[in-house]
Structure 1
Amino acid sequence: MNAAQLAFFRERLLNERKELEEHLKEVKAAISSHERDSDEADQASFEEELSLALRQADRESRLINNIDAALKRIENGEYGYCEETGDPIGIARLLFRPTAKLCIEAKERQEQKEHHYRKTRGE
């Protein structure tokens, strides 16, 4: 991967990280600003919304960690290469998922193993 491509992905990852951080701040502000309602239906509705927001925030926090790891791989010169095989991941896959650590073939193998494992556990 050339320097311009690395710069493109670095900027894209930084922008995505910034957007996620801003959204997490909004979620935290919404949670902290909520006042308890005396109406049980309103409170139940808020708690359901809160549950969804917390799951979303958890996913976004994990994505921020993945973004940080991808940025570290850019700095180390390892970005764009499969952690399993060492082969190039491919620009198309990185455009779709800039935090990708595995080439498509390795990812497919991983998913097949996970599917097989779930299947053997009876899920």
Structure 2
Amino acid sequence: MTSSRLTPEQLLAQPADDYMNDVQQAFFRDLLETERDELRQRIDLGFHALREFESVSDDADIASREEQRQWQLRLLEREKRLLDKIDEALERLARGEYGWCEESGEPIGLRRLLLRPTATLCIEAKQRQEQRERHQRQA
């Protein structure tokens, strides 16, 4: 069975001892590359839409158009950050570090990686990070 044909259910059914084996790494590489390609297409379309010039004469239309452009720019910035995270995840895969928590060295877990393929922290480390951030905001 090739990695491109592996379903998430089949991935999750693999023994825990097989964590981040070649098949699982290939599955996540395919997933990340597919997400990266789709994201690049959305970014390209977004920039193309921003470049389109619509001649409007009404002040309200001009203001509305500018507000829409600002919203599109924020969305594109967010998608660009996600693209950077995907590239970083692919680099971790190439180095053999993908799927392992940057803080604890423990497995991040297949379920978490399926939900957030760019995750760098296991659930426990992520919760600690969020608690520190909440504490810093309150201080």
Q: Tell me the number of residue pairs that the alignment of Structure 1 and Structure 2 aligns.
A: 120
- Measured in 2, the distance between the counterparts of 1:36 and 1:102 equals 48
- Measured in 1, the distance between the counterparts of 2:58 and 2:36 equals 38
Equivalences for residues 42-81 of structure 1 within 5 A? 42-81=61-100
Q: Does 1:3 align with 2:22?
A: yes
1:30-80 superposed Cα distances (whole Å, 9 cap, x missing partner): 111123411111111111111111111001000010000000010000000
Deviation >2 Å, runs of 4+ = none
Q: TM-score when scaled to structure 2? A: 0.84
- Measured in 2, the distance between the counterparts of 1:36 and 1:93 equals 47
Q: Matched residues, percent identical?
A: 53
Per the alignment, residue 33 of structure 1 pairs with 52
3-state DSSP class of the match of 1:56? helix
Per the alignment, residue 97 of structure 1 pairs with 116
Runs (5+) with no aligned partner, structure 2: 1-19
Runs (5+) with no aligned partner, structure 1: none
- Measured in 1, the distance between the counterparts of 2:45 and 2:61 equals 21
5, 21, 32: which is aligned to 1:13? 32
Q: TM-score when scaled to structure 1? A: 0.94
3-state DSSP class of the match of 1:88? coil
CA RMSD of aligned residues (A): 0.8
